[in-house]
Amino acid sequence: MGARRVLIAGASGFVGRSLTAMLAAEGHHVRALSRRMQNSVPPGVEVVSADVARLEPTTRALRGIDVAYYLVHRLDTLRFATRDRICAARFGQAARRAGVSQIVYLGALGDAAGRHTPHITSRRETAAELRRSGVDVCELRAAVIVGAGSAVIEAFRELALRSPVLVVPHGSQHRVEPIVLDDALRFLKAPLTDPRWRGRTFEIGGGEVLKWCELFKRCVDAGSCSRRMVPMPVATPRLSGLWMRVFADMPASMATAFIRNLGRDAVVRDLQARQLLGQPAMPLEPAIRSALATGSPRPRVSGVYP
């Protein structure tokens, strides 16, 4: 299959920037959609400014597009779930009107028993709104994506640099399966040219499962920071969220959502994606070191998670 006409909604975000560059370099016709494109884009990439909550501008932006990537997610408002549902519904309607053949959506891994946090519930609702449009949706569910600019990795860096004591939130003994950005991009690209991914839901991860507190410690160690780690004996999402807001420069809603997610496992249980594309190729340890080495020393954490 030759070059496709692709739109990336959320192109200015952590994953969107890298996906835009990769698809453009491979010869696809890429249209980058963002409310405010603050980053430079590769040569040949078309930039469109629009709010996906507005139907008509989004429909115009999607005209002539084969596959649309939906990477929009904001946690910098307490009403993020409501806004995400509205945006997803409008985007799905616009995609149907514009004749888009497929939407690829980056969702989030959740608890196997369905005991989801408000954040994970919102991600499921976003997928459901996109599907209600009638356009085929390929949903890829991931936990933490490790790379320079990842909100979680940058938050861990900030905590290690600025907090005099590293408080380990209650619940961080639960397990997480991070995925390195390069592997996440490989999975995101697959639905573009392989019809076997069309209209299906997949779980993607890096293959290495560890506890949330272990991931935190690896980031601290990779950043060469010496801090005492103190476990929180009881679940206090608001207090732990306040700690992250103060020392990691995180919006309050995002910090609280992140702390609550620590109380659930986020690991791959469905191996269909690996069966189609093979095992993830990038090891976690050097990716963490590289992300911490190349990221900004005092990042402004965006409202995008992961």
User: pLDDT tens across 130-141, in order?
Assistant: 999 999 999 999
Q: Does the pLDDT of residue 302 top 60, yes or no?
A: no
Measured distance CA(286)–CA(147) in Å, rounded? 10
CATH label of the domain that carries residue 40: 3.40.50.720
252 CB-side CA count, 13 A = 6
User: Is 16 a member of any domain?
Assistant: yes
User: Is 38 a member of any domain?
Assistant: yes
User: Is 297 a member of any domain?
Assistant: no
Longest pairwise C-alpha distance within the chain: 56
Q: Does the pLDDT of residue 220 top 80, yes or no?
A: no
Query: Which has more confidence, 122 or 235?
Result: 122
Q: Are strands 67-70 and 5-9 parallel, antiparallel or unpaired?
A: parallel
Q: Does the pLDDT of residue 301 top 50, yes or no?
A: no
User: Is 255 a member of any domain?
Assistant: no
- Bridge partners of 175? 211
State how far Cα 262 lies from the chain centre: 16
User: Is 285 a member of any domain?
Assistant: no
Query: Would you call 4 helix, strand, or coil by DSSP?
Result: coil
Query: Which has more confidence, 264 or 243?
Result: 264
Query: What sections of the chain are H helices per DSSP?
Result: 14-25, 55-62, 80-98, 118-132, 151-162, 181-193, 212-222, 237-248, 252-261, 272-277, 284-294
Contact between residue 276 and residue 190 where contact means Cβ atoms under 8 Å apart = yes
Q: Which residue has the tokens 């965006």?
A: 302
Measured distance CA(22)–CA(28) in Å, rounded? 9
DSSP state for residue 144 in the 8-state scheme: P
**How many structural domains is the chain composed of?**
1
Mean pLDDT comparison of 87-91, 233-237, 260-264, 292-296, highest-scoring range: 87-91
The CA-based angle 43-45-46, given to 5 degrees, is 130
Q: Check residue 168 and give its pLDDT.
A: 66
Pick from 37-51, 109-123, 214-228: least confident? 214-228
User: Is 219 a member of any domain?
Assistant: no
User: Is 129 a member of any domain?
Assistant: yes
Query: Would you call 196 helix, strand, or coil by DSSP?
Result: helix
The model's pTM is 0.88
- Bridge partners of 31? 7, 46
Q: Which residue has the tokens 């995002």?
A: 254
Residue 40, domain extent = 5-146+178-204+267-277
User: Is 140 a member of any domain?
Assistant: yes
Q: Check residue 304 and give its pLDDT.
A: 36
Q: Does the pLDDT of residue 265 top 80, yes or no?
A: yes
Query: Which has more confidence, 148 or 258?
Result: 148
Measured distance CA(281)–CA(247) in Å, rounded? 33
